[in-house]
Chains A and B, each alone.
Chain A
Amino acid sequence: MLALTRGRRRALAGAAALALVITSCADNGTSEVDEDIAAEGGELLLWGWTGVYEDIAEAYMEENPEVTVEVQNVGTNEDQYTALQNAVAAGSGIPDLAQIEYYAIPQFAIADSLADLSELGAEDLEGTYTPGPWDSVTMEGGIWGLPIDSGPMAFFYNAALLEEHGIEVPETWEDFAQAARDLNEADPDVYLAADTGDAGFATSMIWQSGGRPYQVDGTSVSIDFSEPETQRWAELWNELIEDEVLAPITAWSDEWYQGMANGTIASLTTGAWMGSNLQSGVEEGHGDWRVAPMPQWEGEEFTTAENGGSSIAIMEDSDNKELAYDFLQFASNGGGADLARDQGVFPATVERLEDEDYLNEEVEYFGDQQVYQVLAESADSVAEGRQYLPFHVHAISIFNDTAGQAYVSDTTLSEGLEEWGEQSAAYGNEQGFDVE
């Protein structure tokens, strides 16, 4: 199901859309109010770079022929945020809806660029979503977007490669560090993990470890990377960097895909969405990869973190908010969400995640392993209380110049994180926040 090519996906989307039309005719009692607004018709513009959005839009239009939803791919993540900020600043060309990753929501919410969905009835949706994504879209007493996918973390690994070198799947971070050293010693060309400094990964690891470096309350923000929970991860990871047992390959590069395909990189600790990236980008690994729970800190309760994931938000300047909200509901927790899950998007809604058929699905790519059970368990155990900076997009952009120095110089990761915090704070103060 997951390894479909785009063309076949399309055909499937069409069939699914047809099925949706039929089901929506069968039980039209559930969303009467929504259908009224959609029956009046209108045009919506959605900015998003994820391929499935177009299929969702098409399915919605099949169901609501009076509505036109246009999807524009303005660029991937930061490129789109820049375009969005430019459009908001210029006051023209603003879309009705936009894909916004969880880490970027505070930035747009604080700038009053997003519509507060609680005014449109989104409060009733609490409990519809798993805790991680819902936490990420709610802040400052408002609801700023509806989750589309989620990225509870797990340990994706090349089982054939680990077995070949007699390495056990690590259950704790201490095991992980040992396994990284053993594997690289067994074969210097093979690394357990690749990392050259990735802000999303680092903050997720800190989150799992129990660190809460960001505290945001309105415009007063505090940044603190000195907590012992943060430090224990930074120290463990710094040793791996110093021992040179992490592959010096940057995530998302061509070389990174190559490393996973040719057996240079043996594992990734990352968000649940990685499954579909592996299947499309690392075909060579078919049958070799498996998914295990994220390694833990010894003796502590099973805890995971989220990494990545997107929501769709409604722009404050949209003059069609109610219709946009109707579409958003469809995309986030209606027929669109079913369609997305069938195309390999990891669901953010409890209903789709707890669906027995889904949980028991044996995924061929992962050697018929029931991977969704592992991922769903992770989604259930996400640590609470993560916050992002209201200028997180900028903070990410300076990560490699600060914390990233630990990977290329004598700076330790702890020192690098401190520098990252200081520079982020300086930027925040320039932007009018009260950062300490």
Chain B
Amino acid sequence: MTITATDSRTHRTSARRRPARTSMLKSTRFSSVTRPRRSALLTALTSIALIYSLLPLVWLVLNATKPQAELFTSFGLWFSDSFHLIENIAATLSYDDGIYTRWLLNTILYVVAGAGGATLLAVAGGYGLAKFNFPGRRAVFAVVIGAAAVPGTALAVPTFLMFSQLELTNTPWSVIIPSLISPFALYLMWVFAAEAVPTELMEAARMDGASEFRIFWQIAAPLLAPGTVTVALFTTVATWNNYFLPLIMLRDSSWYPLTLGLNAWNSQASTAGGEAVFDLVITGSLLMILPLIAVFLLLQRFWQAGLSAGSVKE
């Protein structure tokens, strides 16, 4: 997840810069900074990327409208004869005593506590590391960079063994606590805080007698807001889609997040005498991504502001 996020970030910045650079080098008749030259090749490539990323989503939306029987007999990328979306949603929410709602609430709990906590820790930690000089800061830097390079999946099994000894497996804590730590988010906030919070401002506040805590909350935090939103988005997406960690930690399906729950529904079809519920799996998947899309659209503004902050010297 973090990798795609970085990709799109670098992609955005470079897309932003490139037209400017070309116009400076070539100063052609047709292009300017505000009206960059169009490239047919680039348009085609981006279109392919767009279709590639949107097609599964379109498929999901279309197929969530079909009853199970028609899933297999109708063309995948168009509607079938009957429009069953409302019925499918009702069935998804009521199947197995409404366990879907429970899984949704669990997911929200893991996101609020896990991703929310991770964001708080990253903001406070990043600010501290960026703005205070103390011995060992470079060592911390090395550890954080190193930790960001280790995929969470590789740490899952040792984490499981540790939690198993603490007797915390099969509890919500086993999902929330590991989600609190995000080296990448810490690194991002560190870099961001170094740029976004002028040391002069902090010194001025100190002169006026503000406590360090007050400086952090009332002066630094508002300046850090764009970065905070970016980090909150990353960690929210990571926690919302987390699969492997809860898979090894949880056994009791009443603590499952949606990822595990939907997988359990899906595997019902692959067992002797099991009840296939492909229609519910598809509708459930669609419902599951809606909140994420909403969060992205709502926070997009802040996020873009956060990404470009510091890229231009004023």
A residues near B (Cβ < 8 Å) are: 5-7, 10, 47, 49-51, 72-77, 83, 90, 92-93, 149, 151, 252-254, 257-258, 261-262, 271, 273-274, 276-277, 280-284, 308-310, 344-346
Contact = CB atoms under 8 A, between A and B. Distances in A.
Given A49-B271, A76-B271, A261-B69, A90 B164 contact: yes
A257 B273 contact: no
B278 interface: yes
Contact of B272 (A92, A257, A309): A309
Nearest to B254: A72
B97 A10 contact: yes
Contacts of B67: 283
A353 B97 CA distance: 31
B251 A344 contact: no
Interface size class of B (residues with CB under 8 A): 20 to 34
A77 B272 CA distance: 10
Interface string B71-106: 111000000000000000001001111000000000
B273 A50 contact: yes
26 contacts: A5-B91, A6-B96, A7-B95, A47-B251, A73-B264, A77-B271, A92-B164, A93-B170, A149-B272, A252-B270, A252-B271, A254-B269, A257-B269, A261-B69, A261-B73, A274-B272, A280-B276, A280-B277, A281-B269, A281-B278, A283-B68, A283-B69, A284-B72, A284-B73, A309-B272, A344-B273
B271 A6 contact: no
Interface of B: 67-73, 91, 94-97, 164, 167, 169-170, 251-253, 264, 267-278
Nearest to A80: B251
Contacts of B73: 261-262, 284
Contact of A6 (B251, B270, B275): B275
Contacts of B271: 49-50, 76-77, 252
A228 to B, nearest CB: 30
The 7 A-B residue pairs whose C-beta atoms are closest, nearest first, are: A281-B276, A283-B69, A261-B72, A252-B270, A273-B273, A258-B72, A280-B275
Contacts, number: 94
Contacts of A345: 273
A381 B269 CA distance: 28
A413 to B, nearest CB: 24
Contact of A257 (B72, B91, B275): B72
For B91, B95, B267, which residue has the most chain A Cβ atoms within 10 angstroms? B267
A93 B273 contact: no
A77 B271 CA distance: 8
B68 A72 contact: no
Contacts of B164: 90, 92
Given A93-B251, A254-B278, A281-B276, A76 B267 contact: yes
Nearest to A95: B251
Contacts of A277: 269, 272-274, 276
B251 A72 contact: yes
B88 to A, nearest CB: 12
B166 to A, nearest CB: 12
Given A6-B96, A73-B253, A90-B164, A262 B274 contact: no
Contacts of A6: 95-96, 275
Contacts of B69: 261, 283-284
A185 B122 CA distance: 65
A75 B274 CA distance: 13
A76 B270 contact: yes
A326 B252 CA distance: 23
Nearest to A49: B271
A282 B71 CA distance: 10
A273 B73 CA distance: 24
A262 B70 CA distance: 10
A76 B94 CA distance: 22
Contacts of A50: 271, 273-274
Contacts of B94: 7
B165 to A, nearest CB: 10
Nearest to B76: A258
Contacts of B95: 6-7
A301 to B, nearest CB: 27
B93 to A, nearest CB: 11
B267 A276 contact: no
Contact of A276 (B170, B251, B264, B275): B275
Contact of A262 (B72, B273, B275, B276): B72
Contacts of B253: 72-73
